[in-house]
Structure 1
Amino acid sequence: MQHGERAAIWAPNIYQWIIAAIGMQSIGGILVPLINRLQGHEAADILRRSSARVLLTFPRLENGSPLEMLAAHELPSLKHQVLLQDVDDRALSWEAFLALGDVVSDLQLQQRIDQVSPDDIMDMLFTSGTTGKPKGVLCNHRQNIQVFTIWGNTVGLRPEDNYLIINPFFHSFGYKAGWLAAIIKGCKIIPARAFDREQVMAQIERDKITVMPGVPSMFEMILNDPQRANYDLSSLRVCTTGGAAVPVKLVEDMRNELGFETVVTAYGLTESTGMVSICRPEDDADIIAGTCGRALDGIEVMCVNVATAEEVPRGEEGELWVRGYNVMQGYFDMPEATAETITAEGWMRTGDIGTMDERGYIRITDRLKDMYIMNGENVYPAEVEKTLYGLAGVAQVAVIGVPKQPQGEVGMAFIVKTKSAEIDESKVQDFCAAKLARYKVPFYIKFVDALPLNASGKVLKPALKQQAQQLLGKAV
Structure 2
Amino acid sequence: MSELTIPGLVARAATEFPDAEAVVDGDVRVTYAELRERVREAAGAFIGAGIAPGDRIAIWAPNGLPWIVTVLGALGAGATLVPLNTRFKGDEARWPLDRAGVKVLFVEDGFLGIDYPGMLGLDGSGTLPGLPALETVVTFNGTARPGVVTWNEFLSKAVPGEEADARAAAVRPDDIADILFTSGTTGKPKGVMCTHEQNVRTYEAWTGRTGVRAGDRYLIVNPMFHSFGYKAGMLACVLKGATMVLQRTFDVPETLRLIEQEKITVLPGPPTIYTSLLDAPGREERDLSSLRLAVTGAADVPVALVRRIRAELFPQVVTAYGLTESSGTVSACSVDDDDETIATTCGKAIADVEIAIVGEQGERVPAGTDGEVMVRGYNVMKGYLGDPEETAKTIRDGWLDTGDRGRLDERGNLTITGRTKEMFVVGGFNVYPAEVEDVLARHEAVAESGVVGVPDSRMGEVGRAYVRLRPGRTATADELVAHCRERLANFKVPREVVFVEDLPKTASGKVRRVDLKART
Please report how far the alpha carbon of residue 130 of structure 1 lies from its aligned counterpart in structure 2 after TM superposition. Answer: 4.4
CA contact (8 A) 2:76 2:164 kept: no
Q: For residue 156 of structure 2, give the secondary structure of its aligned residue in structure 1.
A: helix
CA contact (8 A) 1:304 1:318 kept: yes
Could you tell me which residue of structure 2 aligns to residue 365 of structure 1?
Answer: 417
Q: What are the within-5 Å matches in structure 2 for residues 293-332 of structure 1? A: 293-305=347-359, 307-332=360-385
Paired with 1:83 and 1:177, the residues of 2 have a C-alpha distance of 26
Paired with 2:133 and 2:501, the residues of 1 have a C-alpha distance of 40
Q: What are the within-5 Å matches in structure 2 for residues 233-252 of structure 1? A: 233-252=288-307
CA contact (8 A) 1:130 1:458 kept: no
Paired with 1:5 and 1:89, the residues of 2 have a C-alpha distance of 24
2:152 to 90, 95, 101: 95
1:58 to 78, 86, 108: 108
Q: Which amino acid aligns with 1:6?
A: R
Q: Which amino acid aligns with 2:165?
A: Q
Deviations along 1:42-80, one digit per CA (max 9) or x if unpaired, are: 211111110000000111344721111112532110111
CA contact (8 A) 2:365 2:371 kept: yes
1:457 pairs with 2:491: yes
Please report how far the alpha carbon of residue 229 of structure 1 lies from its aligned counterpart in structure 2 after TM superposition. Answer: 1.0
Paired with 1:415 and 1:63, the residues of 2 have a C-alpha distance of 30
Deviations along 1:163-183, one digit per CA (max 9) or x if unpaired, are: 110000010000000011101
1:47 pairs with 2:97: yes
Q: Which amino acid aligns with 1:199?
A: E
Deviations along 1:168-206, one digit per CA (max 9) or x if unpaired, are: 001000000001110110011111111111111111110
Please report how far the alpha carbon of residue 416 of structure 1 lies from its aligned counterpart in structure 2 after TM superposition. Answer: 9.7
Please report how far the alpha carbon of residue 448 of structure 1 lies from its aligned counterpart in structure 2 after TM superposition. Answer: 6.1
Cα pair distance change 1:240/1:469, threshold 3 Å: farther
Q: Which amino acid aligns with 1:34?
A: L
Cα pair distance change 1:366/1:20, threshold 3 Å: same
Deviations along 1:133-180, one digit per CA (max 9) or x if unpaired, are: 100000000010010011112111121111110000010000000011
Give percent identity, aligned residues only: 44
Deviations along 1:191-242, one digit per CA (max 9) or x if unpaired, are: 1111111111111110001111111121112111230111000000111112
Cα pair distance change 1:97/1:199, threshold 3 Å: same
Q: For residue 174 of structure 2, give the secondary structure of its aligned residue in structure 1.
A: coil
1:83 pairs with 2:165: no
Could you tell me which residue of structure 2 aligns to residue 205 of structure 1?
Answer: 260
Normalising by structure 2, report the TM-score. 0.73
Q: What are the within-5 Å matches in structure 2 for residues 72-471 of structure 1? A: 73-90=129-146, 91-101=148-158, 104-258=159-313, 260-305=314-359, 307-343=360-396, 345-370=397-422, 455=489, 457=491
Paired with 1:413 and 1:67, the residues of 2 have a C-alpha distance of 33
- 5+ residue gaps, structure 2, are 1-50, 123-128, 426-432, 435-449, 458-475, 512-520
Equivalences, count: 406
Deviations along 1:114-146, one digit per CA (max 9) or x if unpaired, are: 221000000000003443310000000001001
Paired with 2:415 and 2:197, the residues of 1 have a C-alpha distance of 28
Paired with 2:213 and 2:345, the residues of 1 have a C-alpha distance of 25
Normalising by structure 1, report the TM-score. 0.79
Cα pair distance change 1:281/1:11, threshold 3 Å: same
Cα pair distance change 1:471/1:301, threshold 3 Å: closer
Q: For residue 236 of structure 2, give the secondary structure of its aligned residue in structure 1.
A: helix
Q: Which amino acid aligns with 1:368?
A: T
CA contact (8 A) 2:185 2:421 kept: no
Q: Which amino acid aligns with 1:311?
A: R
CA contact (8 A) 1:322 1:347 kept: yes
Q: CA RMSD in A?
A: 3.0
Q: Which amino acid aligns with 1:45?
A: W
CA contact (8 A) 1:130 1:459 kept: no
CA contact (8 A) 2:307 2:339 kept: yes
Paired with 1:136 and 1:124, the residues of 2 have a C-alpha distance of 5
1:70 pairs with 2:116: no
Could you tell me which residue of structure 1 aligns to residue 58 of structure 2?
Answer: 8
Could you tell me which residue of structure 2 aligns to residue 403 of structure 1?
Answer: none
Q: For residue 151 of structure 1, give the secondary structure of its aligned residue in structure 2.
A: helix
Cα pair distance change 1:293/1:95, threshold 3 Å: same
321-330 or 359-368, which moves further after superposition?
359-368
Deviations along 1:246-267, one digit per CA (max 9) or x if unpaired, are: 1112111211111x23211110
